[in-house]
Structure 1
Amino acid sequence: MARPTFRELTAQALSSVEHGYDLLAPKFDHTPYRTPDRVLNATVRVLRPYGPFGTGLDLCCGTGAGARVLRAVCRKRMTGLDFSAGMLDRARSAAPDGTWVRGNALALPFAPGSFDLVVSFGAHGHFLPRERPRLFAAVRTALRPGGRFAFPLAAPARPGTPAYWSLLAFDTAMRVRNAVWRPPFVMYYRTWPLTDVRRELRAAGFGVTLHPLSELGVRPDGSPRCRLVLATRLPEHSG
């Protein structure tokens, strides 16, 4: 199947987030937005020594790319959650062995302690900074004590580089679009700084470790281009 056309991408961008992804779903896996296999494989490498896990949740699963990670490290039920029915249809077709649930990541429709592992790929930009504490609290509730929450986080582009200006231009254009057009489409690339994310995870009751995803390369100073953030649910009294 061909990639989405410029007209199709424009229609998505002028829709709500949910409807936009419903429109994009049939061609999503042919866009650069699908999580690359090298990111999934690197995540599996880091998680394997901490497993095997029991039940796993792919949060904001999209078309189900994260199922590869859950299959590799979980022994029991594999679940994906997304708010786009179109994306879930694609995930269900690709991985009928999973349980695919339509729902809101900020109000997870699962009993407390349902999962041993929660992963998420490529969804950060859909949550505003003020929503992160609520998101982290929801994930903590869904995890069993000692459960893990894992997601890759890329290093910020260095000021003045082409990547820096490209991401800044995208976020600026999105803010202008949302200021003049309704419904809003929340997607930003520069709103999850590592320092803030670590602090908010700890405040939500997680212990946090960082693991370089060396397969994804290093920056000129030798630091990793991408890390896996691994947050462990602490006991209540450790909050």
Structure 2
Amino acid sequence: MFTPQGPTLRELAVQALSSVERGYDLLAPKFDHTPFRTPDLLLDPVARALRELGPYETGLDLCCGTGAGLGVLREVCAGRAVGVDFSAGMLEVARAGGPAASYVRGDALALPFGPVFDLVVSFGAFGHFVPGQYPDLFGQVRQVLRPGGQFAFPLPAPPRPGSRGYWAMLGFDGVMRVRNAVWRPPFVMYYRPFRLGDVHRELGRAGFDVALRALPELGERPDGSPRCRLVVATRRS
């Protein structure tokens, strides 16, 4: 996809007609050659912001994929860094070429850890959860954080209504909803529902205090607001 090393159109079609887990298992060997891999352009500002918020000892990358976000944890955590993902194929690629870390296969809605982490991060995974799952997802994150630990993730500003990005996102979500209405198993990947207001409210209900930090390296919108913020949710004791 977009590069000679990326997946072919046929491979993407097979992935799209699979379950989420099976689809990512199939895509894993070529995932880092697609636009879906979180770019360093985003990872570097997040690492800078977290260095200012730290120090941290232990960190977890939730839905780590092939391990791009684990590089951030290795920068900001003095101790153990762990990646968790439910795709065995993605974890295999991460182990082979990712940062030095521990890799665990697990479900984000049933995390196999106690309260042992000071920091949880996640990059680009929230489209795989529908709004009704946010309480369980955020509850699981709270469960694995020590009191005072932080859950941090970048959240881009939504595209302006009528813009090219707005129509692209609306069209993608529409195609996915039609696909899931007529084909099984479902492939959950919706970009529009993960909105700041809803996320802020559900994090508060889950036992977090929420703060926002602009990521100025990623620029501003025409109205002067940040193009991307870092959501920092601190677990209450």
- Give your verdict on TM over 0.5: yes
Question: For 2:209 and 2:229, how far apart are their aligned partners in 1?
Answer: 16
Give the secondary structure class of the aligned counterpart of 1:53: coil
Residue 4 of structure 1: which of 7, 10, 16 is its match?
A: 7
CA deviation after TM superposition for structure 1 residue 124, in Å:
0.8
Q: Which residues in structure 2 correspond to 1:30-109 (within 5 Å)?
A: 30-95=33-98, 97-109=100-112
- The answer for unaligned runs of 5 or more in structure 2 is none
The corresponding residue for 1:168 is 170
Residue 150 of structure 2: which of 148, 151, 160 is its match?
A: 148
The corresponding residue for 1:136 is 138
CA deviation after TM superposition for structure 1 residue 96, in Å:
6.2
Report the AA paired with residue 114 of structure 1: V
Give the secondary structure class of the aligned counterpart of 2:231: strand
The alignment-based identity, stated in percent, is 67
The corresponding residue for 1:202 is 204
Report the AA paired with residue 50 of structure 1: L
1:187 and 2:163 are equivalent in the alignment: no
User: With structure 1 as the length reference, what TM-score do the two structures score?
Assistant: 0.96
Please say if residues 74 and 99 of structure 2, whose CA atoms lie closer than 8 Å, have aligned partners that are also in contact: no
Question: For 1:96 and 1:219, how far apart are their aligned partners in 2?
Answer: 33
| Change over 3 Å in CA distance of 1:210–1:134 after alignment to 2 | same
CA deviation after TM superposition for structure 1 residue 10, in Å:
0.7
User: With structure 2 as the length reference, what TM-score do the two structures score?
Assistant: 0.97
Question: For 1:80 and 1:223, how far apart are their aligned partners in 2?
Answer: 32
Question: For 1:232 and 1:181, how far apart are their aligned partners in 2?
Answer: 39
Report the AA paired with residue 212 of structure 1: A
CA deviation after TM superposition for structure 1 residue 13, in Å:
0.4
Give the secondary structure class of the aligned counterpart of 1:227: strand
CA deviation after TM superposition for structure 1 residue 73, in Å:
0.4
Q: Deviations over 1:135-163 (max 9, x none)?
A: 00000010000000000111111111111
Question: For 1:221 and 1:87, how far apart are their aligned partners in 2?
Answer: 39
The corresponding residue for 1:178 is 180
Give the secondary structure class of the aligned counterpart of 2:229: strand
Report the AA paired with residue 230 of structure 1: V
Question: For 1:33 and 1:76, how far apart are their aligned partners in 2?
Answer: 28
Give the secondary structure class of the aligned counterpart of 2:65: coil
CA deviation after TM superposition for structure 1 residue 217, in Å:
1.4
CA deviation after TM superposition for structure 1 residue 95, in Å:
3.1
Question: For 2:166 and 2:57, how far apart are their aligned partners in 1?
Answer: 40
The corresponding residue for 1:159 is 161
- The answer for unaligned runs of 5 or more in structure 1 is none
| Change over 3 Å in CA distance of 1:96–1:165 after alignment to 2 | closer
Q: Deviations over 1:46-105 (max 9, x none)?
A: 111221201100000000001110011001111000000000001111236211000000
Question: For 1:168 and 1:185, how far apart are their aligned partners in 2?
Answer: 17
Superposed CA RMSD: 0.9
Report the AA paired with residue 203 of structure 2: L
CA deviation after TM superposition for structure 1 residue 38, in Å:
1.4
